[in-house]
Amino acid sequence: MEAKLTLGPVLFNWAPEAWRDFYFGIADEAPVDSVCLGEVVCSKRRPLFEPYLAAVVERLERTGKEVVFSTLALIMDERETAHVRAIAATEGLYVEANDISAAALLAGRPHAIGPFINVYNEATLAYLVERGATRVCLPVELPAESLAVLAASSDVELEVQVFGRLPLAISARCYHARSCGLLKDNCQFVCDQDPDGMDVETLDGVPFLAINGPQILSSTYGNLWGELKALKEMGIRRFRLSPHNTDMVQVARLFRDGLDGRDPPQAEERLAELVNGAAFSNGFFHGVAGWAPVGKLAEAE
């Protein structure tokens, strides 16, 4: 079965026009099969890009790409609940649940499960499939052994993130606002100053994490380009790229080549150039610390 590429939702607070133009470029040029749209991290950002949402959906569908509507990873109040209810009640939308309450609202109709819902074992996967999940993006921290067990246990379409900073946690508090001496309710959208997240270092100056509003991400960029063959062999059918403020069309082309069995010269080096030399990691896949580079990634450092 052909391996498919998914572009995950933009996790960061980009200027609305930049957000629109990014997706227009993806629609016209990127070799991806599916594109996730929607605010996953902070509901305050949603009204900023909503005026452009219809145009983006139309452009993506016109160029043959499947549109997936992603929901919040943490639903905290009635307003956010009402928005998710409205999405779940809209006929014709293929929705990705990133909170278990959203999955409950979607029960009985085909939907996707995002990487923010913990699917760690066969029983959880089977439960979600029984309730209508037709696609499951597995958590980024699962090692290869667990991925293989889950793939062997079900015929549902499984997806793994293969590029981008790894989502680790999300909170009701806004770290970005706090770092600027602001409250969450009066954050002034300071997260827009860090289009790929705000780097956090230890007291010794070692890169540690990245902050994106109320979300914690890895400091390193997950990169499973070298593991694509192994993932395909264990039965993973979909491969997710998490968008960053770089040439994601080129990133998509490199991963498309890898999935199709082509081996572009210096693919790893080209990916490193696209993220301005940021550190890559694949530790979770290999069952070690998530930040660690293993194999060719370690050799490249």
Compute the distance between CA of residue 136 and CA of residue 160 in angstroms, rounded to an integer: 9
The reply to whether 161 falls in a domain is yes
**In what helix (H) or strand (E) does residue 272 lie, and over which residues does it extend?**
helix 267-274
The reply to whether 154 falls in a domain is yes
The reply to whether 196 falls in a domain is no
The reply to whether 33 falls in a domain is yes
136: confidence class by pLDDT, cuts 50, 70, 90:
very high
* Residue of 51, 42, 41 lying closest to 8 (CA atoms): 41
The reply to whether 183 falls in a domain is no
| Global pTM value | 0.95
| Residues 40-76 pLDDT 10s | 999 999 999 999 999 999 999 999 999 999 999 999 8
Instruction: Evaluate if residue 187 carries a pLDDT over 90.
Output: no
Q: How many domains does the chain have?
A: 1
Determine the pLDDT at residue 31: 98
Residue range 174-196: mean pLDDT, rounded: 88
Compute the distance between CA of residue 135 and CA of residue 46 in angstroms, rounded to an integer: 24
The reply to whether 203 falls in a domain is no
Instruction: Evaluate if residue 175 carries a pLDDT over 70.
Output: yes
Helix, strand and coil in the chain, % to nearest 5: 40, 20, 40
User: Could you tell me the CATH number of the domain that includes residue 234?
Assistant: 3.20.20.70
| Residues 223-273 pLDDT 10s | 999 999 999 999 999 999 999 999 999 999 999 999 998 877 788 889 999
- The SS3 call for residue 48 is helix
Which residue range is the domain that position 97 belongs to? Answer: 4-166+220-265
- What are the beta bridge partners of residue 212? 215
Contact predicate 208/166, CB 8 Å: no
The reply to whether 17 falls in a domain is yes
* Residue of 73, 5, 84 lying closest to 42 (CA atoms): 73
Compute the distance between CA of residue 107 and CA of residue 129 in angstroms, rounded to an integer: 10
Instruction: Evaluate if residue 4 carries a pLDDT over 70.
Output: yes
The reply to whether 102 falls in a domain is yes
Determine the pLDDT at residue 218: 97
